Amino acid sequence: MTQVGGDYVGGDRIDAQQSQGFINRPTGPVRQQFGDTVRGDKISGNITATGISGTGVSIGHQGQVQVQQGSGQSASVNPFARVYEAITARPADPDVDKEEITRAVQVIEQEARKSDQASEKRLTRWLHSLAAMAEDIFALTVAALTNPQVAGMTVARRVAERVRREQ
């Protein structure tokens, strides 16, 4: 006689009340499963997370996070990107056109990219002119030229720092 959870009544009758389940006279292989089938981590109940800090923390089912530190890739690829964005976002000025400011920044950028062959006199003149046209754009241009993450603009960096002190 095989005893399965529940009460045995006799013969072929089995009382299965309160049992986890059973198989009576199987004809092949039997695999019983009680509870959950879990592949990977199973977390149930209430989840509480406290005191979590740091960079790139993600909690929850399929949680994702993207982290960008520093000034970003665009600053190192084109340090003048922020300058051009500011020109575009700048309100209209009856004394100076956005196109005129853009041209001034473009010639400064082109000269600065010549690295050691850049002309200090040209850069000085153009930076003073830009400062007279648009002080906000001048400040951003100087920040782009003096950015320590940008290599190769040594002459322009030196000139920009000097002109900034003169303003």
- Grade residue 37 by pLDDT with cuts at 50, 70 and 90: confident
- Kindly report whether the global pTM for this prediction surpasses the value 0.85: no
Domain ranges of the chain: 73-166
Question: pLDDT tens digits for 53-102?
Answer: 555 655 566 566 665 555 444 444 688 999 999 999 999 999 999 999 99
DSSP 6-65: SEEEETTEEE-TT-S---SS-SS------S---SS----S-----S--SSS---STT---
Answer yes or no: are the C-beta atoms of 149 and 75 closer than 8 Å: yes
Which residues, at least 6 apart from 30, have a Cβ–Cβ distance to it below 8 Å? Answer: 23
What is the pLDDT, as a whole number, of residue 57?
59
Question: pLDDT tens digits for 95-115?
Answer: 999 999 999 999 999 999 898
Q: How large a percentage of the chain has pLDDT more than 70?
A: 61
Closest CA to 82 of 138, 144, 28: 144
Low-confidence winner among 21-30, 74-83, 142-151 (lowest mean pLDDT): 21-30
